[in-house]
Amino acid sequence: MNALVVRFLRAPHYWKALTVLALATIVALPFSSNISHLLTLMINAYALVALAAMLNRSSTRNSWAYHGVVLLASSVASYWVFRSVHGFISAAGLTYVIALAYITATVWGNFTGSKFSIFLERMLGIRAVEKRELEKKEKDVLSKRERKVQYALLIILGVLTVALLVVTRSDYVTAVSVLGLKFLDNGIHTFVRRSRNVGNTFFHNIGLLAQGLNFFFLFRFLASEDMSWIFFLPFAVGGILGGLFVQKFTIIAERKIKADPDSHLNPRGVKSEFRFPVDISLFPRKTLIVLVIAAIGLIWWADSPLLALTIVGLATAQYIAFTLISRARTRKNRTYEAYASVGSNGTWLATFGKLDKNDWAASLFMPYIVGVMIGGNIGVGIAMHIERWFGISSD
């Protein structure tokens, strides 16, 4: 027993966090009203976030085929998990046991997903798009393995599209609507993932606004249809196409603006007697002032000020956490990533649960959007400070 304690104390910080969460969940499982359903949710959530971690990295890599395969797997897992969470919340509400189990599964999923992604990237020779490639357009030289993956992905897309036409033949308009919204959703996610890492506030804010708008409308519609399986195929196909299209677009955009993900690590003229100096120039102050004033106005005039305040607060916390984990996944520090993943998964579940329990009411739309914008802008500033303080460069 003493040997185990000693090993635990000597373990890296991320292993300590992973172990504590796992033990706490094992203790809490007997208090669940339906252990088998909860375990199923945990398995699905683990797969979702492992793939999300891989997706976060693949969207910034030089292989669209690898990114497409991860997009396909992620689309399958995400619809399954969203449906599971929606069912749990509708039946039993958001309990502490569900929250703890979900967070544990996703933190472990994030850790193993990043590790596996790094392993695959090294094995397949996949790398990040480097600064010189953004500054000068270079012709891609594809390996035979890369071409085979591309052909396989195109065949899978073709099969899924034919299946979509057959399965949704009774209502093509609705199917195309879901496909379009998911195309935008995954496309915007790819855009925002990259924009968080390029040091351009305008680029990032455009993505945040579009992401908040699309997420709310997509899941408001799916929740109203009780996450029916008939929408799975358009959801999956739209996600793959959106992610692939925008990955290419953002690489071109970054080349135009001469993006540099590590420019904040070597500041000029920043002097402080403190160990962890704060540089307020890393926060877009004017943007944040406008957004905070808008949030106060929305809360003041809301039919339920407390509910509006809750949604603004949850969305802000969610997008601070999302920004931290999104940047951490593409940085050379797994401890940073492990701690960031705890907050991101917990705040997502709380926000999704609150919106779902209130039937995605139209009155919650603007508080959610403003919270997303505030959280995204604060999150980038916090992430840049952490990376500067500890010298964490991009991977």
What is residue 392's three-state secondary structure?
coil
- 164, 233 contact by CB (below 8 A): yes
Determine whether 15 is exposed, middle or buried from the number of CB atoms within 10 Å of its CB (0-12, 13-18, 19+).
Answer: middle
Q: What is the pLDDT of residues 53-65, one digit of tens each?
A: 888 777 767 677 7
Highest mean pLDDT among 68-72, 83-87, 166-170, 297-301: 297-301
Q: What is the pLDDT of residues 334-365, one digit of tens each?
A: 777 777 777 777 788 888 888 988 889 989 99
Give one DSSP letter per residue of 113-165, joined into a string: HHHHHHHHHHHHT--B--HHHHHS-------HHHHHHHHHHHHHHHHHHHHHH
Provide the residue ranges of all domains of the chain, joining segments of one domain with +: 12-268+281-390
pLDDT at residue number 390: 80
pTM equals 0.75
